Amino acid sequence: MTPVKLYPPKPQKAYVFGTCLIDMFYPQAGLDGIRLLEREGIEVVFPDDQTCCGQPAYTSGYHDEARAVAEAQLDLFPEPWPIVVPSGSCGGMMRTHYPQLFAGTPREAQAKEVAERVFELTEFLVHVCHVQLTDKGPSQRVAMHTSCSARREMGLAGTGPMLLAQLDKVELVEQARAEECCGFGGTFAVRHPEVSAAMVEDKTLAIEASGAEHFVTSDCGCLMNIAGRFEHQKKAMQGEHIASFLWRRSS
């Protein structure tokens, strides 16, 4: 995969922006992402005052409210270190939309500078850390779902599969229409529940039909939506954030 931006050498230190869903529902994914970075010799700095990136308000059309939430994040990353985000959704908001959100305001230059330092976790592991993984787990067939934001806003459809391909005993199986949305879409699932439910039903059927025994994703919103649908269907299919999967298989 051709990198979507110019990537720096591996740094000694990096910030981690944890995301709301990891904080509230999947803290283990955040911890495992940090462990992956620390194993690469990077000192991880986690600003305690971080909250939401502002995306839910932004995608709902409340740009003033989104700006207020996002503004509180800008001062949390004063050093010129990369900002690693274990979510293409939040990463896409920060890298793509912060410069737009703050255009014409006193914070414009700062927002652009922060945005340029934002990396999604799998992107950072592949293109900055050049990580090499050793598989220590059993043979398993796995499907991967890449979020719409990671795929389309950040151009990162390939980095998760690149990491999974390093695991000798993992067979990455292709689901039908892999590029389609799972139906979560942040507040979309709340505002259009019937449409969202139909979309995630299609996604779970496609994953099941692929022959996968397990699924992974790099976004916790997608993980919550897909895993929740499998649970509603009373299916045994389990899923996890790719950070936890990689750490579990290689530690």
With b for 16 or more beta-carbon neighbours within 10 A and e for fewer, the 205-237 pattern comes to ebbbebebebbbbbbbbbbbbbbebbeeeeeeb
Domain locations along the chain:
13-127, 140-250
Q: Which two tokens stand for residue 100?
A: 């737009």
How confident is residue 3, by pLDDT bands cut at 50, 70 and 90? very low
Q: Residue 30: how many CB atoms within 10 A of its CB?
A: 24
Distance CA 184, CA 205 (A): 16
For residue 99, the model assigns a pLDDT of 97
CA atoms of 8 and 128, how far apart (whole Å) = 6
CB 242 within 8 A of CB 217: yes
Using alpha carbons, select from 152, 127, 144 the residue that is nearest to residue 246.
Answer: 144
Read off the pTM.
0.95
By the 8 A CB rule, do 126 and 157 touch? no
Topology of the domain comprising 140-250 = Rossmann fold (3.40.50)
pLDDT in tens, 20-70: 999 999 999 999 999 999 999 999 999 999 999 999 999 999 999 999 999
